[in-house]
Chain A
Amino acid sequence: MTSAISLTIRKYSWKYAGNLAFWIQRLTGLGLVFYLILHVHTIHDLRDPAKFDAALATFSKPFFKLGEIFLLATVILHAMNGIRLTMVDMGVGLTKQRQVFWYFTIGLGAALLIAGALPMFIYGILRHQP
């Protein structure tokens, strides 16, 4: 089993952006589908206001705020990579795909993540009032 896994890992060129982007897109996509289902389950509690407010109170705890920042990172990765994929589909920047991945998806994505996560970290975790 371990040899099969190591063979799989060695079989593909991980240093190339496209393969890495493919796995990022796949894993974040699966994670977001899972989150969507959980989210719909929470939203269903709108039928019972007390239960809904209790759920929201739980989700404003620092641990869940940290999870929210992680969710933001997942969304940004999936979205920026999705824009890159749409560009590939349209035939834009095919010869510069590594630069597009590293500078656009990862670089601009990291900048957006910091911009979005900083207020969430400051107001959700540092200045959290129970």
Chain B
Amino acid sequence: MATYQIRVARSGSDGATDSFTVELDHRMTVLDALFLIQREQDPTLSFRCSCRVGMCGTCAMRINWQPRLACQTRVLTLKADTIVVEPLAHLPVMKDLVVAMDPFFEQWKRVKPALHPDPKRDPKKLAVVPPTSEFGKQAQGKRDCITCGACYAACGIVGSNEEYLGPAAINKAMLRLMDPRDNAVDERLEELNDENGVWRCHTQFNCVAACPKGINLTDSIMKMKRSLLFPKKFHDKRNFVDNP
């Protein structure tokens, strides 16, 4: 057990933070600390969480100036006695640590994240994606995105240009463009090739540092930039699912 000072950003008055002193076991996470504060010290503290195992992406918040999942951040790993907990940047704060995810999902919707199946394709026929193919390799880690918004909050470009697609949306668009079952190629390419699409990425790598699932988002964005030199290859999905 160790004593930690938790400074939580509150939405009441402008820019105010409340300090709480809590006793935490070294195995406990920031989310556990927030629950402890809510139960024992200040029941008005607001935050969001649901799965507590890092698979829902609900509890993303800025912990010690870095967007992280509160349920996956053990207090010990922060190597600090004072832990600063703030809501995600670039998203409107609703209360305390709760933010509205609307700006993030507005950009997410722009790239048509859902599957748009090819009407000519027999839906009963399963798509075969060998793990050694291009799509197989890309999908390995990059489909793990849980839309927590950490990359969007970490991105410096979003701070000055809220019309930028954001790393998560581009990553999703790349996976859909390579998907052999999907047909909405031109619409997605148009959004990606927009002035506020992939061209706004200046490889700050902030999204890669922030992603709690360890997705190399910059790699996805750079792949899309290079692919836009030869956009026709997305019309033949065999380019991505054939074994090399």
Q: Chain B contact residues (Cβ within 8 angstroms of A): what range?
A: 20 to 34
Does chain A have a CB within 8 A of B210? yes
Report yes or no: B203 in contact with A8, Cβ–Cβ below 8 A.
no
Q: Is the CB of B222 within 8 A of A22?
A: no
Cβ of B88 to closest chain A Cβ, rounded Å: 10
**A22: nearest chain-B partner, CB-CB:** B204
Which A76-94 residues have C-beta < 8 A from chain B?
A: 85, 88-91, 94
**Contact A19 B222, beta carbon cutoff 8 Å:** no
- Residues of chain A within 8 A (CB-CB) of B219 are 91, 94
CA distance A96 to B79 in the complex (A): 24
Count of chain A residues near B, Cβ 8 A: 22
Is B66 an interface position by the 8 A CB rule?
Answer: yes
In the complex, what's the smallest C-beta–C-beta distance from B154 to chain A, in angstroms? 7
Nearest B residue to A19, CB-CB: B204
B218 interfacial contact with A, CB 8 Å? yes
Q: A10-B65, A88-B218, A91-B219 are in contact. Are A18 and B159 (CB under 8 A)?
A: no
Considering the chains assembled together, what is the distance between the CA atoms of A19 and B155 in angstroms? 9
B218: which A residues are within 8 A, CB to CB?
Answer: 18, 88, 94, 97
Q: Mark out the residues of chain A between 51 and 110 whose CB falls within 8 Å of any chain B CB in the assembled complex.
A: 85, 88-91, 94-95, 97
Cα-based distance from A8 to B156 in the complex (angstroms): 9
Chain B residues within 8 Å of A26, by CB: 202
Find out whether the CB atom of A19 lies under 8 angstroms from the CB atom of B205.
yes
Check A8–B159 contact: CB distance below 8 A: yes
Q: With the chains together, A17 CA to B204 CA distance in Å?
A: 8
Across-interface contacts of B210 in A (CB, < 8 A): 13
Residues of A within 8 A of B89 (CB): 11
Q: Which residue of A lies closest to B84 (CB)?
A: A10
B209 on interface, CB distance cutoff 8 Å? yes
- In the complex, residue of chain A having the shortest beta-carbon distance to the beta carbon of B89: A11
Say whether B206 faces chain A, with CB atoms less than 8 Å apart: yes
B42-68 interface bits toward A, Cβ cutoff 8 Å, 1 = contact, 0 = none? 000000000000000000000001100
Q: Which of B203-244 contact A (CB under 8 A)?
A: 203-206, 208-210, 216, 218-219, 222-223, 225-226
- Contact residues of B: prevailing secondary structure: helix
How long is the Cα–Cα vector from A21 to B156 in the complex, in angstroms? Answer: 12
CB distance from A20 to the nearest CB of B (A): 9
Chain A 1-31 residues near chain B, CB threshold 8 A: 3, 8, 10-13, 16-19, 21-22, 25-26
Q: How many angstroms between the C-alpha atoms of A98 and B223 in the bound complex?
A: 20
Please name all residues of chain A whose beta carbon is closer than 8 Å to the beta carbon of B209 when the two chains form the complex: 13, 16, 18
Question: Is B12's CB within 8 Å of the partner chain A?
Answer: no
> Whole-angstrom distance from the CB of B111 to the nearest CB of chain A?
21
* B58-99 residues at the A interface, CB under 8 angstroms: 65-66, 89
Residue numbers of A with Cβ under 8 A of B are 3, 8, 10-13, 16-19, 21-22, 25-26, 85, 88-91, 94-95, 97
What are 15 sample pairs from A and B whose C-beta atoms fall under 8 A apart?
Answer: A8-B159, A10-B65, A11-B159, A12-B154, A13-B209, A16-B205, A18-B203, A18-B218, A25-B202, A26-B202, A89-B226, A90-B226, A91-B219, A94-B222, A97-B205
The 5 closest A-B pairs by CB, nearest first: A18-B205, A18-B204, A22-B204, A19-B204, A16-B209
